[in-house]
Amino acid sequence: MKKKLTVSIFAILSIANLLHAQADRWQQHVNYKINAALDVTTNIIKGTEELVYTNNSPDTLGKVYFHMYWNAFVPNSAMDIRSRELGKNYLSVRRGAPITSASTMDGKDNVQDWDRRVKDRIQQLKPTEIGYQRISQLLMNGKAQKLVEHETILEVQLTHPIAPKTSVKLALQFEAQVPIQVRRSGRDNAEGVRYSMSQWYPKLVEYDYQGWNTNPYIAREFYGVWGNYDVSIQLNKDYTVAATGVLQNPSLLSNVAGMKSWNFKGNNIHDFVWAADDHFKHLSKEVRKGLTLHVYYKEKTAAEDSAWANVLWAAEKALPYIEKKFGPYPYPQYSFIQGGDGGMEYAMATLLKGPGIGTVFHEWMHNWYQHVLGSNESLYPWMDEGFASFAEDDISFWYEQNIAAQSPYISAAAIKLLQANNEKAKTYLPSIQYGNYGGYLALAKSNLEEPISTHSDHYNTNFAYSSAAYSKGATLLGFLGYVIGDSLRDATLLNYYSIWKFKHPNSNDFFRVAEKTSGIQLQWLKEYWVNSTKSIDYGLNDIQAENNTAIISLQRYGKMPAPIEVLITYKDGSTELHYIPLDLMLANKLDKKTPNRIVHPEWKWVQPTYTFETTKPITALKTIEIDPSQFMPDTNRSNNKLEIPN
Ligand SMILES: [Zn+2]
């Protein structure tokens, strides 16, 4: 009893602290109550949707909008045209290198820049294979409203505007055909999962301080209104349903006329996914009080059984590490569900093609970045994909180094291979070991790069989008560790999560947290990295003997400035790390790992050259290397290192 009291006082105190730290930005709110029935023979789903929508903005709203995603899966839709147009671009290799004209392609090295899952498949869909979503009637507070269709966006012209700080009740009836799976959602995916039900219901468009986010669905990305979902799904009794939220009626599934009803509830989320199959296997474990993890997969071979069991095992083992590094997981449930066409994140759940552990960690981490922080992925895809990719690498590395070999679900041969890799990985340099630096550097050299502030639908190529959102976004966090120090970068990530959770942070919000956490000015980093395509290239210029020292001359060749570290190795085996801060930072990086580094005067960013002295004469020098950590994303490393001949 006493212990319990202590715990609750502590809980109250920490909630008060967090509330104090919370950012002040208004958010819209919506509660959904959805009742839907899926006919597994016709693939038609019909339902009703009741929404209570609260306008927390200071604005009076004369319209509301809904996403009608499945209208993209019709020939000549914007998604179809966009994919076929991107298919006209040929890249000479898949990752990097300029576009060559179609006439010079040799059919081997050239690839079309369209999503290989979409290609021109939408154009070929037959009427029974397309997707559609229709709303027959929409009532606001009981009164019919005027609807205007814009393919995947439905405009609702309101008879009475919604005043600030008021709520309205919206009620609609919808009917949809589940498309053959082309992208993310649909029926009968490559693994044979019958239904991957994402983007399946009319979903309210988010209104925020930047206005209505009415992005047509052409491939990406997602954004939504936080609220509570109460979803009931009826379908053939032989099917198992896996979904966002907590199943409310596990033992009382009603069984009327061959149908079962599944009711799920989830709070503080901005999307709802489900999947259904008549051969789903289900594993689950309550990994701590109030949190149950689930795995649903299509049973096939014993090897696959093991791999899916390992997903649950690894998720439980990794969770404490993940929460310490990236912040607490706030929901009562999470489901890893086989379905979809790769890995795709949803609230409290993910659809996965297979049980690959890197993807498992990546998609789960989207619950931190996409669902709890909820950055607008159309405008800031790198804040979601980039950060999830960084976390994926970090967690995968930790997992492989520390616990994977203990898994009862991995074969002895696989464990041996893992241990050999771990030995090697210890000597790897991070930029080589982590593929995101490689992805970014290929982009920077490709002539196809666009600023990562580009709207995710509007990149010229899929290549530039994915390299920017995933690789350049993840590289930012590696580079931030180089600029402010790894421990302050990690502290920034935790502060960012606790201050901006459920607030839709933008890019400036992230950099402000990094500045406040580190005490280092970072506006230059944001402007160069996010709003430009300028890149970093520093090189060694010249070495001269002077008295008992050597004068090292450095050159900035790239347009983007950075703080510089130079490692000097002497012939006697001793080393010294020279640190040259950038004037724009107005402070030095925290470096606990090298307390004896030599800190030089700042390098003014306007100055292309810089010189400094070593502590020993030129005859004692063995090697000079700029950025031995390789965490600075230098586009040309060939001029970074010099070996002095004997
Ligand atoms: Zn992702």
Query: Rounded to 5 degrees, what are φ and ψ at 604?
Result: -70, 130
What DSSP designation does 277 have? E
Closest CA to 290 of 11, 28, 3, 502: 11
- Cα(605) to ligand 1 centroid in Å equals 35
Q: What's the gap in Å between 422 CA and the centre of ligand 1?
A: 25
Ligand 1 centroid–CA 352 distance in Å is 11
The pLDDT, as a whole number, for residue 257 is 77
Question: Both tokens of residue 474?
Answer: 């993840």
- How far away, in angstroms, is 365 Cα from ligand 1 center? 8
Residue 254 is predicted with a pLDDT of 64
- Whether 352 and 315 have beta carbons less than 8 Å apart is answered as no
- Below-50 pLDDT ranges, the chain: 1-20, 94-106, 428, 432-433
Ligand 1 centre to CA of 369 (Å) is 10
Q: How far is the CA of 329 from the centre of ligand 1 (A)?
A: 17
Ligand 1 center–CA 96 separation, angstroms: 20
> How far away, in angstroms, is 394 Cα from ligand 1 center?
14
Confidence (pLDDT) at 592: 85
SS (H, E, C) 351-398: EECCCCHHHHHHHHHHHHHHHHHCCCCCCCHHHHHHHHHHHHHHHHHH
- Cα 102 to ligand 1 centroid, rounded to whole Å: 31
**Residue 74 alpha carbon to ligand 1 centre in Å:** 26
Please choose, from the candidates 421, 389, 426, 429, the residue with its C-alpha nearest in 3D space to the C-alpha of residue 404: 421
* Nearest-10 crossing angle of helices 486-500, 473-484: 120
**Phi, psi of 610, deg, nearest 5:** -155, 140
Q: Which of 187, 184, 182 is nearest to 221 (CA)?
A: 184
pTM of the predicted model, to two decimals? 0.93
Q: How far is the CA of 600 from the centre of ligand 1 (A)?
A: 40
End-to-end CA distance of the chain: 75
Residue 105's pLDDT is 44
Ligand 1 centroid distance, CA of 504 (Å):
17
Cα 501 versus chain centre, distance: 15
Distance 16 CA to ligand 1 centre (A): 33
220: CA distance to ligand 1 center in Å? 11
Cα 369–Cα 372–Cα 377 angle in degrees, nearest 5:
50
- Do residues 80 and 122 make contact, with C-beta atoms less than 8 angstroms apart? yes
CA of 455 to the centre of ligand 1 (A): 16
3-state secondary structure of 24: coil
**Ligand 1 centre and the CA of 434: distance in Å?**
16
Q: How far apart are CA 247 and CA 264, in angstroms?
A: 4
Distance 539 CA to ligand 1 centre (A): 35
Residue 343 CA to ligand 1 center (angstroms) comes to: 7
Cα of 258 vs centre of ligand 1, distance in Å, is 38
Ligand 1 center–CA 348 separation, angstroms: 14
Distance 351 CA to ligand 1 centre (A): 11
Q: What distance in angstroms lies between residue 473's CA and the mean position of ligand 1's atoms?
A: 11
pLDDT number for residue 417: 84
| Sign of the alpha-carbon dihedral angle for 574, 580, 581, 587 | positive
**Distance from the alpha carbon of residue 380 to the mean position of ligand 1, in angstroms:** 13
CA–centroid distance, 492 to ligand 1, in Å, is 21
Partners of 157 in the beta sheet? 63, 146
- 614 alpha carbon – ligand 1 mean position (Å): 45
Kindly state the tokens that stand for 547.
């008295």
The answer to whether the bond into 392 is cis (omega within 30° of 0) is no
Report CA(127)–ligand 1 centroid distance (Å).
31
Cα 467 to ligand 1 centroid, rounded to whole Å: 12
183 C-alpha to center of ligand 1: Å? 14
CA of 386 to the centre of ligand 1 (A): 8
Q: Cβ contacts of residue 16 below 8 Å, gap of 6+?
A: none
Distance 342 CA to ligand 1 centre (A): 10
- 147 C-alpha vs ligand 1 centroid, how far in Å? 34
Residue 362 Cα to ligand 1 midpoint, Å, equals: 6
CA of 203 to the centre of ligand 1 (A): 21
Q: How far is the CA of 134 from the centre of ligand 1 (A)?
A: 29
Distance from residue 382's CA to the centre of ligand 1 (Å): 10
Q: Which residue has the tokens 């997969």?
A: 297
pLDDT for the residue numbered 319? 98
Query: Residue 493 Cα, ligand 1 centroid: separation in angstroms?
Result: 17
Distance 372 CA to ligand 1 centre (A): 14
Q: How far is the CA of 378 from the centre of ligand 1 (A)?
A: 13
Are the beta carbons of 178 and 276 closer than 8 angstroms? Answer: no
How far, in Å, is the centroid of ligand 1 from the Cα of 524?
27
Q: Are 157 and 145 in contact (CB under 8 A)?
A: yes
Distances (CA, A) of 601 to 556, 586, 587, 604: 16, 11, 11, 9
Cα–ligand 1 centroid distance for 296 (angstroms): 20
